[in-house]
Amino acid sequence: MNDIRLRYNTGLGRLKNVGITLLVNNVFNELYENNGYTFKYMSEGKLFSGNGYYPQATRNFLLSLGLKF
């Protein structure tokens, strides 16, 4: 899994700093899971079991704006 972060900072008028950041998580849109579980139980004399996993987010974005006065 790969992430990328782009950041730009500048001054603007009375603001000491204006920062814009773009974060792209899972750039290549990989399907993956980072954890899983297993269980067993008995019901009416029969043993049941199961396995599962927790799929993680596909590609997603975060845009932020930071201001310093």
Per-residue confidence in pLDDT tens, the chain, 69 aa: 899 999 999 998 889 999 999 999 999 999 999 999 999 999 999 999 999 999 999 999 999 999 999
> pTM, whole model, 2 decimals?
0.71
Q: Are strands 15-25 and 46-55 parallel, antiparallel or unpaired?
A: unpaired
Residue type, 55: P
Structural domain count of the chain = 1
Bridge partner residues of 32 (DSSP): none
Question: How confident is the model at residue 1, as a pLDDT?
Answer: 85
Q: What is the total residue count of the chain?
A: 69
Distance separating alpha carbons of residues 40 and 48, to the nearest angstrom: 6
56: tokens are 């993680």
For residue 40, give its domain range.
4-68
Distance separating alpha carbons of residues 56 and 59, to the nearest angstrom: 10
Q: Which residue has the tokens 């009375």?
A: 14
Question: How confident is the model at residue 47, as a pLDDT?
Answer: 95
